[in-house]
C-alpha cells in the first residue's frame, strides 16, 4: 500500500514486530491510500452533470469509432 518494498517495510518495522503493530501500520497505510479516492467519489457525487457529460462524450467517441466498422460488417453479412 506504500511505495516501500517488502524489504524496506521489514527494515522500517523490524522483524519481530507484534501483530497488532503490523496491523495498525497496515491500517494507517490503507487509510492514507483510500482517503483521496473517497474524497474524489464524494466530489463527483455532488456534480452528477459533470459525470454525465464525461459519459456522453465517451459514448459519442465510441459511436464515431464503431460506426464505420459496424457498417462494414453489416455490408459483409448482407444487412446493408
Query: pLDDT tens digit string along 32-60?
Result: 999 999 999 999 999 999 999 999 999 99
0.75 exceeded by pTM: no
CA gyration radius, the chain: 25
**pLDDT of 19 above 90:** no
Shared domain for 7 and 35, answered yes or no, is yes
Shared domain for 8 and 32, answered yes or no, is yes
Shared domain for 22 and 32, answered yes or no, is yes
Separation between Cα atoms, residue 18 and residue 20, nearest integer Å: 5
CA 37 to chain centre: 9
Q: How many structural domains is the chain composed of?
A: 2
Per-residue model confidence (pLDDT) at position 2: 74
Amino acid at each position: 500500500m506504500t511505495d516501500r518494498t517488502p524489504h524496506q517495510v521489514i527494515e522500517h518495522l523490524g522483524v519481530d514486530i507484534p501483530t497488532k503493530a503490523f496491523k495498525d501500520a497496515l491500517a494507517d497505510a490503507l487509510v492514507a491510500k483510500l482517503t483521496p479516492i473517497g474524497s474524489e467519489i464524494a466530489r463527483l457525487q455532488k456534480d452528477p452533470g459533470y459525470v454525465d457529460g464525461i459519459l456522453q462524450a465517451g459514448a459519442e467517441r465510441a459511436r464515431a469509432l464503431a460506426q464505420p466498422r459496424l457498417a462494414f460488417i453489416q455490408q459483409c453479412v448482407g444487412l446493408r
